[in-house]
Each structure stands twice: as C-alpha cells, then as structure tokens.
Amino acid sequence: GAVVSQHPSWVICKSGTSVKIECRSLDFQATTMFWYRQFPKQSLMLMATSNEGSKATYEQGVEKDKFLINHASLTLSTLTVTSAHPEDSSFYICSTSEEGTSRTQFFGPGTRLTVL
Amino acid sequence: DAKTTQPNSMESNEEEPVHLPCNHSTISGTDYIHWYRQLPSQGPEYVIHGLTSNVNNRMASLAIAEDRKSSTLILHRATLRDAAVYYCILPGAGSYQLTFGKGTKLSVIP
C-alpha cells in the first residue's frame, strides 16, 4: 500500500500563532488526500478532503478560514491551523486513497498539536 | 456510509486466535468491508478488505457472512503488538470518505 508521512510528528505552539502540518505521499501520486482530527479517547473525525489543484472540501462545522488546506502537488498536502487556540490541541492525521472501487486508505503517522 | 456495530472491547490471551465481529445489516451490494486498526498514538493502519468472498493476507483473515450482513476479522495468533482499536468500516458507494465509529478495543494478555 501507499506510504504516507507527516511532519512534524509533534508540535507545541503558543496561542494565536499558526502551525503548518505537512502530509506527503511517498510512493503514490495522490489526487485526493483526507485530513482527520482525533481528540483524546475519541474516534477520528474527517475535517476535509484535499484535492490536488483545487479547493478543499470541508466537513460541516470545520472552519475553512481557520484550517487552511493546500494541495499543490500530487505528493504534498498541507494543513495550516491559523490563530491556534488551546481547543485546537488534537491529533491530526492525513490519509490518501487508493484509486479504484475498494477505496482503501493509507494513513500518515499523525501530528500531535499542543497549543499553550 | 452504511452503519456498523462492533463490541466496545475484547480481550485475548497472547498467541491465541481472536475473532472480532462486525454487524452491518444495512450493507448494500456494492459496499466493500474494510478493517483498519489504530495502535496508541499512531495513525490508523489498513488491515484487510473484502466484498463477498473470505480474504486472507499476512496480517489477518476476513470472514464474510453469506448474506454479507456481518463479518469477522480473524487474527490467527494474537501478539502484544496487536493490542489496538479495530475499526470495521463500509465506505459508501461513490465516496472515498471513511466514517470511523468507536471500534473495538482489543487487549492482549501476556
């Protein structure tokens, strides 16, 4: 399956600053990538679908101006958390989807964001 | 996505087989059955998927009921590294999105 990396693996920032998280598909050209968020002891929640060369599609309740997604190439999607607040502290995970009918997804290792 | 039902938690002794059940009574004819697992502090990992026939790979086996309304993920010999939350997911037709439920937390006892 596809290999997906994320950088950084963890980040601590001050409230009000912006943080960029990178998601790379290392061996697969990904036209579509997904961004999830996971709070402690909860399941993954889809935030947005990132499409190469076009605007991302955000899930209901996710602020597009706060969580900026850029998918400028087939191997890189970035999520920028702008003006971060402590409630944005979470585990952010990206994934890429295999083309075809099975729709198998391959996930990155996640980025732990802590906002002080 | 079609709804799935899984037990909240299960326990297994190390080196014994584990059968993780999943009910999906509203499955449609084109829905694949996917299993992922998430180890602590890691992103989910693909385990296996199937449509109608039973499937085997190096990680696990997937047994699918004849009416497709349920399936069972089989770990043939549980190890401590298999302790994780296991998710049974049916991606909807026409969509690449996955909807994660609470899954089954598997504990492996040494």
Torsion of CA A61, A67, A73, A75, to 10 degrees: -80
Q: Tell me the shortest Cα–Cα distance from A28 to chain B, in angstroms.
A: 16
Nearest to B44 among A44, A101, A102 (CB): A44
Tell me what pLDDT residue B49 has. 93
Average pLDDT value over all residues in chain A: 92
Average pLDDT value over all residues in chain B: 92
- The answer to whether A105 contacts chain B (CB < 8 Å) is yes
Residue of A nearest to B43 (CA): A109
List pLDDT tens digits, range A54-91.
889 999 999 999 999 998 888 999 999 999 999 999 99
Query: What is the pairing mode between strands A45-51 and A32-38?
Result: antiparallel
- C-alpha–C-alpha distance, residues B105 and B20, integer Å: 10
Tell me what pLDDT residue B35 has. 96
Tell me what pLDDT residue A29 has. 84
Tell me what pLDDT residue B3 has. 87
Q: How many CA atoms lie within 13 A of A45 on its CB side?
A: 14
List pLDDT tens digits, range A31-52.
889 999 999 999 999 999 998 8
